Structure 1
Amino acid sequence: MIRKNAWKSYTDSQKQELNTINEKYKACLNAGKTERECVKLAVKMLEEKGYQSLETYKTANNKLKTGDKIYAVCMEKSIAAFQIGKEPLENGMNILGAHIDSPRIDVKQNPLYENEELAYLDTHYYGGIKKYQWVTLPLALHGVVAKKDGTVVEISLGEKEDDPVFVVTDLLIHLAGKQMEKKASAVVEGEKLDLLFGSCPVEETPDLDTEEKETVKENVLQLLNEYYDVEEEDFVSAELEIVPAGKARDCGIDRSMILSYGQDDRVCAFTSLFAMLDVEETERTACCILVDKEEIGSVGATGMHSRFFENVIAELVTLESSESDLKVRRALQNSCMLSSDVSAAYDPMYAEAFEKRSSAFFAKGLVFNKFTGARGKSGSNDANAEYLAKIRQVMDAGEVAYQFAELGKVDEGGGGTIAYIMANYGMQVIDSGVAVLSMHAPWEVTSKADVYEAYRGYKSFLIKM
C-alpha cells in the first residue's frame, strides 16, 4: 500500500499552518524537558483556553454541562483534560493518551562526592538508553528540591546562554584499547555515568581545615546554598534529571525536520494537547491524558497503571449526575482511544533492522500500529478490525495523511505503549503516533510534515470519532 509524501500535497495556507504548529511545538519542547515542566506548561495553556481545575468544580459543587472544560493533575507529573460533550459520560469519551517522560539520567538520593579534587553527582539512568550516547555531551540539570519546611525549589541549570553546562566524561581514544573491545552495551557502564559537577576548591578560611575537608565538594555545597538555599541533606528529597542542554532546532538544509531531545513521546503529547485546545463543541466528551513513567513500565502513582484516571472519571460522573460505579465502568468501556506513542521511522542506514513493507516513513503522516509488543506480539494491545475501519473512515474524512506500520522486523525486538492498560477497561484502543529517527537517543529527529499530520489526525479523531 503506497502512501504519498505529504509535502507534495500541501497548499500555501497548509504550509503556513504547518510552520505555525511546528514553531509552537519547538517552543513546548524547549519549555518542557521534564514531566513536571510539561504539566506546568499544559496547565498554563489549558487555563488560557478557559479550562478550570477539577478541585474548583468540586469545591463549588458545580454540575457538569456541555462545553465545560476541566483538568486534573496528579502529583505535578500527570494531567488529564476534558471538554464535556453533548452525550452523557457513560456513552464514552474520545481519548488521546500520550506520555511525557523521556529517557534520561537521574540524580541519586546521596549523590554528591569528591574524587581526586573533582566533584561529581552520582546517577542512575532512566528508561532504555544506549549509555555510550550520553558521554561528552553538554548536559543540563532540571528538577525540584523539596525541603523539610515544605518549600519546593525549582532548578533549571544549563539551558541559558550564560549558564554553565555539565558533562559525563569518556576515556580518551589513546588509552581505550580494552574499552573498544567491549560490547556496545558494556562500553560505558551505568556507574560510569556520573556527572562532572565542579573542580574548584573552596577559599581557605581560618575555621576550615583544608587538610581534612573535601574542599571541592565544600565549594559546590556553598554555591548550592548561595544560589538555591539547598543543603546536602536536601538531595534526599529531590527529583533532579539530567538532560541534553540546548534547544530544539530545525534539521536539514530545507528545514523540513526537527532535532530535539525528548520527542519520544512529547511529539505525540504536545500535538494531542494542541488538538485538544483547538476543539470546539463535540458530541462525545473529548479527553487528553498525558502521563508519566511509560519508559519504565507505566508504574507508580503517576503512571498509567495507577487509578488516577479512573478516579477522575468517577469524580466527573458524580458531578454530572450522581455517584455510580456502573456509570464509571460504562464511561471507560464505551470510550475510544488513540494511545499515541512514537513509531520507528525507516532508516536506510540501518535497513537490515526493518521490514520495508511494514515500516513507517518520514512525511507519510500519522502512524497507526495495529499491535506493538515484541516478537510474537508479546505484551501488545491488538486492535480489532472494526475499530481500524472506523479509524480509516475518520482520517479520510479529515483528509489526514496516515500510514500503518510495525516496529521493525518480527524477531528484531519491539516495544510497548500504554494501549494495553486502557484496553483492560474494554475500550477500543489503537497505537498511533509520529515516526522518529534515532529514537531514545539524546537527540531525536522528526519530520515537520508528520508533526502537522499528527495534530490534524488527533483533532479529527476528537471531533469525528
Structure 2
Amino acid sequence: MEFEPKNCWEVFKSKKHVSAMDRLADQYIDFLSRCKTERETVDWIVKRAEGSGFRPGFSSAGFMKVHKGKSLIMVRKGKKPLAEGLRILGAHADTPRLDLKQRPLYEECRVSLAKTHYYGGIRKHQWLARPLALHGVIVKTDGTRINVCIGEDQLDPVLTIADLLPHLAYRQIEKKLSEAFEAEKLNVILGHVPELSAKDKEKKSARHNVLKILKQRFGIIEEDLYSAELQAVPAGPARYVGLDKGLIGGYGHDDRVCTFTGFEAFLKQDSPEYTQVLLIWDKEEIGSEGSSGAKSLFMEYSIEDIIDAWEPDTRIRTVFENTRAVSADVHAAMDPDYQDVHEKLNASLLGYGPVFCKFTGHRGKVGANDAHAEYVGWLRGILNKAGIPWQMAETGKVDLGGGGTVAKFLAVYGMDIIDFGPGVLGMHSPFEICSKADVYATLLAYEQFLKN
C-alpha cells in the first residue's frame, strides 16, 4: 500500500545491467568532455545521426533538420497516422557560461583581458580562480566560419579569472553575496607578454600581442570579433567522482545529460507505433528566447512540413492535441549539506532514477506547466511495467525554490507534457554532479516513453 522510490543500484545489480551502465557512463563522459557549447552538441548529434541514416528532407521516413546551427529536430515516422499524435522528447543544449562581449579586448596593469557578459543563472564566485577554455565560432565578412577551441588540448594554455586575495578582501567579505562579486569584474585573462618586435611603442602591449596571436592562429583581425560567438567555459574533461566511480562530475549536465540520453534512446527505436520526435533547443537558460529557442516557431514550422509531406489533409491542431511529450530536463537533487532548502517528503535523491517534476515555476506555481493527473498516471504505468525506478519531486521548499523549463511553451499547443530527467547536485555550477545509475535509468525511461 505504501510507496517508496527504488534505488537504481539495487534494481540494476545484475552483471548485464552493470556492464551496460558502465559503457553508457564512459560514452557520456566522452560526449560531455567534447560538447561544451550548443553548436558543438548539435554537430556531434548530426554526425552520429547521419551514421544511422538520418538525412535532411521531410519526404523520408526518418529525417533531421538543423536550425541556425544551435537547434535540431529529428523525426522517425510511426505506423499510426499523425492525427493520433506524436511522441515528443525535447531537451536543451545550452548551458550557463560567460560570453565574450562584442568588443572584449583591453589591457590593464600590463595584463591583456577580455570583457564578458554572463549567460544564464550563474553564481559568479564559482567562476573565479579556475581554468577556463574558449569555445565558439568567428564569422568573417565573406561568410567564412572559424571554429575556436582553446584550452582543452594538453599543449594549450588555459584562461582564467583572477580572484581577490584574502589579505585584501576584508571589505568584500562584509558585503552580501549578491553584491560582493560584480559582473563587470568577470574579466578573462588572455595574455601578459608585450609584442617585443613592434617598432611602434604604442603597439608594444600585451593586448596587441594577443591580437597578433589570434591573427596567426585563426587569421582574424579585431573587427572579426564583432561577428563572433565565443564562450568561456570550464576547461578539462568530465570525470568520475568518488572512490567507487558512482558519480559523474563535469560541466553541462544541465541539460546535456538529457540531450545525450534522449538522443541515444531515440536511436534505439525501430518501427514505432507513433511518430517520434526529438527536439534539441537553444536559449533555455535565458527563457527560451530568440529564433533558436523553444518560444520560436521552429517546431511548429517543422511539424507543418511533416504534415504537408505525409498527411496533407490532417490539421496541425489535431496532431498537437493528441501528442504526448516529455520536457527532458534535470532536477535539483537533495544536497547533503543543504537539506534545509528542500522539503524532504517531496525531494529527489541521487541514485533513485529520473525525476518527474509535475510543475515548475515559483511561489504559487507562477509560470508553471502543471501536468494533468491522467498523464502522470499513464507515465507511472509504463515505467512500473518496465521495472524502471523513478521518483517525483518539487524544486525546493515553497517560497524558496523555483525555476523554469521548456514545458510551458509546448503546453500551449494543448499537448500533454511533464518535466522528467535525472537529479543533479551543484546545478549551474562549473562542475555539476550526477549519478551514473540515474543516467542509465533515464536512458531506459526515455526508451519506454518513446515506444509506448
TM-score by length of 2: 0.98
The equivalent residue for 2:422 is 434
Counterpart of 1:159, as a letter, is E
| In structure 2, distance between residues paired with 1:44 and 1:334 | 32
Indicate conservation of the 8 Å contact 1:114/1:214, yes or no: no
Structure 1 segment 307-456 matched on structure 2, within 5 A: 307-322=297-312, 327-456=315-444
Segments of 4+ in structure 1 off by > 2 A?
none
Consecutive unaligned residues of structure 1, counting only runs of 5 or more, are none
Indicate conservation of the 8 Å contact 1:117/1:214, yes or no: no
The equivalent residue for 2:265 is 275
Q: Secondary structure at the match of 1:348?
A: coil
Structure 1 segment 70-109 matched on structure 2, within 5 A: 70-109=63-102
Q: Give CA deviations for 1:230-278 in whole Å, capped at 9, x if unaligned.
A: 1100000000011000101001100000000000011111100010011
The Cα RMSD (Å) is 1.0
1:221 to 211, 219, 229: 211
The equivalent residue for 2:191 is 198
| In structure 2, distance between residues paired with 1:53 and 1:242 | 32
Alpha-carbon shift at residue 204 of structure 1 (Å): 2.9
Q: Give CA deviations for 1:24-51 in whole Å, capped at 9, x if unaligned.
A: 1111111210000000001011111111
| In structure 2, distance between residues paired with 1:162 and 1:89 | 52
Counterpart of 2:422, as a letter, is V
The equivalent residue for 1:257 is 247
| In structure 2, distance between residues paired with 1:402 and 1:357 | 15
Alpha-carbon shift at residue 334 of structure 1 (Å): 1.3
Is 1:36 aligned to residue 39 of structure 2?
yes
Is 1:300 aligned to residue 293 of structure 2?
no
Alpha-carbon shift at residue 372 of structure 1 (Å): 0.9
Indicate conservation of the 8 Å contact 2:195/2:203, yes or no: no
2:200 to 209, 229, 246: 209
Is 1:458 aligned to residue 440 of structure 2?
no
The equivalent residue for 1:184 is 177
2:23 to 20, 25, 42: 20
| In structure 2, distance between residues paired with 1:168 and 1:187 | 15
> Structure 1 vs Structure 2: percent identity of aligned residues?
43
Alpha-carbon shift at residue 337 of structure 1 (Å): 0.5
| In structure 2, distance between residues paired with 1:333 and 1:289 | 18
| In structure 2, distance between residues paired with 1:223 and 1:242 | 18
Counterpart of 1:347, as a letter, is D
Alpha-carbon shift at residue 214 of structure 1 (Å): 5.4
| In structure 2, distance between residues paired with 1:424 and 1:379 | 12
| In structure 1, distance between residues paired with 2:30 and 2:315 | 39
| In structure 1, distance between residues paired with 2:385 and 2:270 | 17
Q: Give CA deviations for 1:49-69 in whole Å, capped at 9, x if unaligned.
A: 111113xx5xxxx4x5xxx21
Indicate conservation of the 8 Å contact 2:8/2:353, yes or no: yes
Alpha-carbon shift at residue 413 of structure 1 (Å): 2.4
The equivalent residue for 1:9 is 11
Indicate conservation of the 8 Å contact 2:71/2:282, yes or no: yes
TM-score by length of 1: 0.95
The equivalent residue for 2:108 is 115
Indicate conservation of the 8 Å contact 1:33/1:243, yes or no: yes
